Amino acid sequence: MAKAFVTALLGLTLGAAVTATTGAAAADNPSAEHLRVRTLTFPYDVGAVFVMPHEKVPIAVTASKARLFSLEAKQGALTATAPNRWTWEAPGTAGRYTLEVKDPTGKKAFDFNAFVMVPATEVQKGFLNGFQIGSYPATQLGGKPSYVAPKGFIEVTKDNEDTKVSPNFRLKQFLTKQKAGYPKYMVLEERLVYVLEAIGRHLEGYGWKADDIFVMSGYRTPYYNKLLDDTQWSMHQWGRAADIFLDKNKDGNMDDFNKDKVVDRNDAAALAELVDKLSKAPELADFIGGVGIYAATAAHPPFVHVDTRPWKARW
């Protein structure tokens, strides 16, 4: 039932919609105007990027040279390198900084927040400013660079936790659930947010939208991940994974996604199949790595794990 449901509806949403709006396609489409930070082109006009102190960040607008955009960064050092291209050197102090891009008429075109992270070198005995991080694995599984410990951590406060990291997701949705006061610290990869926005866009053909995606678990510190008795190699620790389910009415339970009038593992399976099919689209092939299906327990409803590891994993 789940497979037939997804296969029938996927044809309505996959293809042109992906090609028109995902970052890779936008970068190759000269008529598209999107913001590119480093190598990622964002198919939306509000979001966030995460940088290290004094990092030199290449920023561009994918527009023709005939349409000159302007970039305003009130802090840090900004250098224009070409029409619609800049290098921004981030401030040396951790915090949230605004990057505002205006179109040739002076109208705001892109409104992004840059979070300058606290260097991981400031973690002492597993703690950062009183917040318990724990320890990342001393060696990388299979020598994969994906398991190198993060270089820095986003400082989350009561003042910034509600910041949008994309049109439909906020910083606090990815914050670890371990109990602690503020400030708290986390890692979040821009590519994960990008993937969730893409999933949300394709849910529209099913009667759901990105705002209906509930992030049950985002970032986990190694300390908290160990408390959960999860694998020490969990992608959650690198801010590359999210456990999600659909919750349109915000009741804390998975919706009947496959519309068989029963909420169970089959709904997670149907959602996972959608994510798997999206991972095969050329524009998303390098973004979706792991997809896992989980049945309900007394502690949680059925859900889907999705991550951005650079290799395929299904379970």
Mind listing the pLDDT tens digit for each residue in 37-80?
999 999 999 999 999 999 999 999 999 989 999 999 999 999 99
In angstroms, the CA 241 to CA 220 distance is 9
Largest distance between two CA atoms of the chain:
59
Query: 178-193, pLDDT tens digit by residue?
Result: 999 999 999 999 999 9
Question: Does residue 141 have a pLDDT over 90?
Answer: no
Residue 122 three-state SS: helix
Q: Answer whether 0.85 is exceeded by the pTM.
A: yes
pLDDT at 3: 52
pLDDT at 22 over 50: no
C-alpha span between 2 and 267 (Å, rounded): 7
Cβ atoms 267, 256 nearer than 8 A: yes
pLDDT tens digits for 164-176? 999 999 999 999 9
Q: What percent of the chain has a predicted confidence (pLDDT) above 70? A: 90
Cα separation, 240 vs 243, whole angstroms: 11
What per-residue confidence (pLDDT) applies to 207? 93
CA-to-CA dists, residue 289 to 173, 276, 277, angstroms: 21, 9, 12
Q: Cα 16 vs. chain centroid, distance in angstroms?
A: 22
| CA–CA dist 41, 21 (Å, integer) | 10
Give the position of tokens 């994993």.
313
CATH of domain 2-314: 3.30.1380.10
Task: Note the Cα 240 to chain centre separation in Å.
Answer: 7
pLDDT of residue 31: 55
Give the tens place of pLDDT for each residue, 277-293.
999 988 788 899 999 99
pLDDT, one tens digit per residue, over 240-249 is 999 999 999 9
d(C-alpha 141, C-alpha 4), whole Å: 37
In this structure, the dihedral spanned by the alpha carbons of residues 195, 73, 115 and 113, taken in order and rounded to 10 degrees, is -40
